[in-house]
Structure 1
Amino acid sequence: MNRQKIITVDGVKIQVRTPKGHPRVVAVAKGMISKIRANDIHRGMRAKVLQKNKNWLSYRINRKYRLLVERTRRNTGPYYCMSRPEFDYWISTL
């Protein structure tokens, strides 16, 4: 995982942990984080609450990648961007 700090529109630095490579996925994740912080959530961006641990929210970036954040830290992060196999492994370890 690659750790980055992005600066949102508000000027706040947020920590994002993303997969190595895939600059398109990272760019989409950064855009989603900005929208989540601004409460500009559209129809396809609704968060799903994880069934195993209800303290986590999952946003879908595309078919292969998910954006995870703790429910209580939705505006501050850290955000985790992970692929589907990483996501399945992470869920099984909860």
Structure 2
Amino acid sequence: KVDWIVLAGFMRILKGDFLKAFPNRVINIHPSLLPSFPGLEAWKQALEYGVKYTGCTVHFVDQGIDTGAIILQETVPVMDDDTPQRLHARIQDAEHHL
């Protein structure tokens, strides 16, 4: 019996049959404060948009891209001199706390 499926750094979209086999048991960690910046390279999206805060989100996986119900979030400040690499590293540190 599978209790939970946890995705971290998993870059593929799971299809309906898989999700139907494990209803409400697949969770993902995403490098933004969803619903802002879903999809790939969310830390770059945050820098391009010019937000002062971003972060990471643990959420249930559904049929959409990063659209499932949010379980937990942690905020990460965006610094004026941030590069994509530095911001991504700080977000990953926050993910490890969640």
Report the TM-score when normalising by structure 1: 0.30
Instruction: Identify the structure with the greater strand proportion.
Output: 1
Instruction: Identify the structure with the greater helix proportion.
Output: 1
